Structure 1
Amino acid sequence: MTQPFPTDALTRSMTEVVDALHSSAFAATLVRLIQQQVAFDCALLLGVGQRPVYLYDNLNHQRALLFDRYLTSHFSQDPFMLALDQGLGAGVWTLAQVSQGRLDPEYRHHFYQATGWQEEVGLILPVRGGLTLMLFLGRLDKRSPLSRDELARLEAIFPLVHSLCRQQWRQETPLLAQSSAQPDSASLKSAVEQAMASVGGDRLTRRERQVAELLLQGLDTEAIATALGIGGGTVKNHRKHLYAKLRLGSRAELFSFFLNHLIAAPDGGEPTA
């Protein structure tokens, strides 16, 4: 039988989340509310449209994989993403439910074995037309599997979580990571430089990343060609390839991608070798 959520704890936690609405503290506060109901080691929040947009995580183990691998390529093999493309509805879903026992071996190796996640639950949260949030809750191998009682508790709190997320992201504004960091000017300059040098992770070649950096600085095709000593047609080819690899359709989407990378990248976005 599902144990009732203590009224005083529920009131306190709900108050904290409501107070955090429309602030950078919202996602972390919401995750803490959920973790009072069911213990998880890891949480990852994404906005899903044409490609996933990073919003929040509390990962402490293998966090760099999220930015170097998952957000640039492996998300396309994620069983939750695949199920969402096929019409998966709002609710609480386990990995077993969405994969139906057919997990891509490459994805199992690059994500589950690499990160140590042994259990995963996804909360599918449509918040407005064209935008669905996916909140992933993961357990590392030190924890026992999710019980029926724990799953029932997640399902019981889902309507509250869904309503709060609709309030937080109801406006038609660009999605940005939920970061409360306030760096000084020197730290910000360093973070921007490092993020420029690492945008796209190892999905991009050295030349494609150079083109991306110059695009982000506002240079046009001719100026980029002059700066790099290559032809304008070559610049266009590099731009086409980097957009395809990052699943972007325009310079505006590249800027949005970079802003999230800047805010979210571990250690300020250290360059990828």
Structure 2
Amino acid sequence: MNNTNSNTTASLFSRFSQHSAELVESVGNSDFPSKLIKMLKALTAANDGTIFLYPDGKMPQVDYFDSPDKGGSINLDIHIKGAFLLDPYYLAGFDKNYGFFSLKELAPSAFKKTEYYNTYFRLSGVHDECGYVLPVGDNSFINISLNKTTSKEKFYKKDLNTLKDLLPFVQSISTKHWGDGSNPAPASHKNLRKPLQSALDCFGNSILTERESQVINKVLRGYSTKAMAEKLSISNETVKLHKKHAYAKLDINSQSELFHLFLDSLMSIDEYKGGDTLSDYL
């Protein structure tokens, strides 16, 4: 190892040692999330970070939000009220796929062409994301999201490797903080997350055929035509035909309109009790 690499490693270890000592002291306290993000930013080139807690079956809560330059609180509100259902990191946690991931590792092939990506990521100024999806007991999990908000800049491989190496430490200390019941979801957080997942799965099935509904669901999730065809064991042309028929029945012309139709129909219901959100909306 040359001197440059040795100095870089020593500097990284020094920063980790300093921040981790402060972090351990703050476990169970309200400043723990901010100190965790501060440490991860100090060790990488991340510009900001957000921590989402997904309590068992309940709606997500934002335990930390760090986006001083973009003013994305309105966009964040849209996210936690329903758009999170299309977030690759949420879907990984829902499927119990835990660990550290770059966005590329989790996102479907056409994710960056989806309206979810353009609406949520672009409005919040995010150009690249990586993060942890970690279990914290009782079927609850957290997403510690780190973002690059500098135009066209991506996370460097060395930063991704550093964050991946930190996984055992981040998992252990996060479990100590969030897994001991010291930070429960507020009582006002109704047990709605699982029904909302059902709302996404059922979206359009009161109007569309089963195949059309399946295609629309995968369009929302960011699957390309080829990926949908492989997943559903049908041809690319058949996928396109189902999509065309579905759009006509829903009276929409674009993926943007589909995304907003899903969110609008979901948010128009005070107490969702199951089924297709479009059944009383259109």
TM-score category of the 2 structures, normalised to the smaller one: 0.5 to 0.7
Query: Which residue number corresponds to residue 170 of structure 1?
Result: 179
Note if contact 2:51-2:143 (Cα within 8 Å) is conserved in structure 1. yes
Aligned partner of 1:23 among 11, 14, 29: 29
Cα distance, 1:68 vs structure 2? 2.9
Q: Partner residue of 1:112?
A: 121
Higher mean displacement: 116-125 or 104-113: 104-113
Alignment partner of 1:43 is 2:52: no
Q: Deviations over 1:135-173 (max 9, x none)?
A: 111111336311211111111112111111111122235
Q: 1:83 & 1:161 partners in 2: Cα distance?
A: 17
Letter of the 2:269 partner, please give it: H
2:151 aligned with 1:142: yes
Deviation at 1:30, TM superposition (A): 0.9
- Counterpart code for 2:9: P
* Stretches of 4+ aligned residues off by more than 3 angstroms: 5-8
Seen in structure 2, the aligned counterparts of structure 1 residues 55 and 114 have a Cα distance that, compared at 3 Å, is: same
Aligned match of 1:123: 132
Residues in 1 aligned to 2:271 and 2:62: alpha-carbon distance in whole angstroms:
18
In structure 2, stretches of 5+ residues that fail to align are 187-267, 274-282
Residue 102 of structure 1 and its aligned partner are, at CA, apart by: 2.6
Count of matched residue positions in the alignment of Structure 1 and Structure 2: 182
Identity over aligned pairs, percent: 18
Distance 2:110 2:95 in 1: 15
Would the aligned equivalents of 2:75 and 2:123 in 1 still touch at CA under 8 Å? no
Specify which of 21, 29, 38 is matched with residue 32 of structure 1. 38
Change in CA separation of 1:87 and 1:153 when aligned onto 2, cut-off 3 Å:
same
- Decide whether aligned partners of structure 1 residues 133 and 68 sit closer, same or farther in structure 2, where only a CA change above 3 A counts: closer
Residue deviations 1:26-51, cap 9 Å, x none? 01111111111112122110111323
Question: Could you tell me which residue of structure 1 aligns to residue 161 of structure 2?
Answer: 152
1:193 corresponding residue in structure 2: none
**Offset, 1:124:** 0.9
**Residue 59 (structure 2) pairs with residue 54 (structure 1):** no
* In 2, Cα distance between equivalents of 1:151 and 1:132: 21
CA contact (8 A) 1:55 1:175 kept: no
2:270 matches 1:242: yes
In angstroms, what is the RMSD of aligned CA positions? 2.5
Change (3 A) 1:10 1:122: closer
| Contact map agreement 2:16 2:43 (CA 8 A) in 1 | no
Give runs of aligned pairs for residues 60-209 of structure 1, distance below 5 A.
60=68, 61-89=70-98, 91-103=99-111, 105-142=114-151, 144-172=153-181, 175=184
